[in-house]
Structure formats: structure tokens, C-alpha cells
Amino acid sequence: MKDGIKAAMAASLGCVLETMFFMSTEISEEGTPADFFRALKGRAFGGQIDFSGPSSGRFFILIPETALVAMTESFLTLERSQIEDRHLSGMIKEVLNMVAGNTFSTYNPDHVYDLGIPERVPAETVARVLAETGAEPNFLIVDTSDGRVALANLQTT
């Protein structure tokens, strides 16, 4: 199951970033949250969304500020100077919701997964939760023209 969900995560993240934000993507080498933060230049934003269905758990996303601003500019057709923190919060939640929904539709189209309400959380909180969980999350890093984006799926059941 792990390889299947990870492949669906990669396909979904690439699809959403390329289709909705016109960003080129390339799956990076296997990495860890620590690898993501080591390569980070500047600030990152985090998001989380709970899911339930045949399995349950939580999805996380980490997006560098430069990439999130570029997505917001493209999606909301705003100038950089017009973008406020509320726009960035809304954008990270929307990206995570699209990616999580697409992942489950791709991974297991015959089953229903319920998604919770996406939340913006500090990137450091995402890293801490993933490090402290004891379970090995499905984690991947995608390189984009605006920075590396990381996605994690932590299944609890």
C-alpha cells in the first residue's frame, strides 16, 4: 500500500501544481523533512488535513514562501504587492485540499475518503509532528521552478 499511495501523492501533487499553477515539477530523490528544511532558503508555510475512510490519518504539506506567493499570484491574479497573509493562508489550504482529494481519487477510486477542513499550521509544527510520531510517513519532495514542495501522508489506521 505504501508505494501505491506515495505514487498517487506524487502524481496528484504534480497534476495540481502543473494544471492549476502552471509550475513545472520533478520528483526529487527520496527525502525527509530534515532534508526539506536543510535545502530551504527563507520561510516555509505548512498545512494539514485529516482524512478517514478505508484508512485514516493526516496529510501535511510544506511550501516555501516564494512558491506559495507565486501560486497565489497566478491563482488569484494578484500583484505581489497586493498579497496579504490571509491570501497565503487560503492558498495553502486550497492546494492541500486539492492534492489530498486527488490523491485518494487516484489511489483508490472505488472507496470513499472523507476529508476534514484544511488548516494552516507552522512549518516547524509539521516537522515536529512527523519526527515525533514513531510511524514512518509517506513523504516526498517535489522540485518546482519556485522551490521544493513537500507532501506527507501519516496514516494512523
**Helix 65-76, helix 85-107: angle, nearest 10:** 90
Cα 26 off chain centre by: 14
Strand partners, 63: 45
Instruction: Pick the closest to residue 35 from 136, 133, 149, 146 (CA basis).
Output: 149
Query: Tell me, what's the pLDDT at 1?
Result: 39
Range of the domain at 129: 2-155
Strand partners, 143: 26, 148
Domains of the chain: total? 1
Query: Tell me, what's the pLDDT at 107?
Result: 92
Q: Residues in the chain, how many? A: 157
Q: Average pLDDT in the 47-53 region? A: 96
CATH code for the domain of 94: 3.40.1550.10
Residue 30 has pLDDT above 70, yes or no: no
CA atoms within 13 Å, Cβ hemisphere of 39? 19
Query: Tell me, what's the pLDDT at 104?
Result: 93
Residue 129 has pLDDT above 50, yes or no: yes
Q: What percent of the chain has pLDDT over 90?
A: 57
The confidence band for 2, taking pLDDT boundaries of 50, 70 and 90, is low
Tell me the pairing of strands 147-155 and 138-144: antiparallel
Asked if 51 and 8 touch (Cβ cutoff 8 Å), the reply is: no
Cell numbers found for residue 17: 501544481
Phi/psi zone of residue 112: left (φ > 0), alpha (ψ -120 to 50 degrees), beta?
Answer: beta
Cell numbers found for residue 50: 485529516
* Distance (Å, whole) CA 119 – CA 94: 10
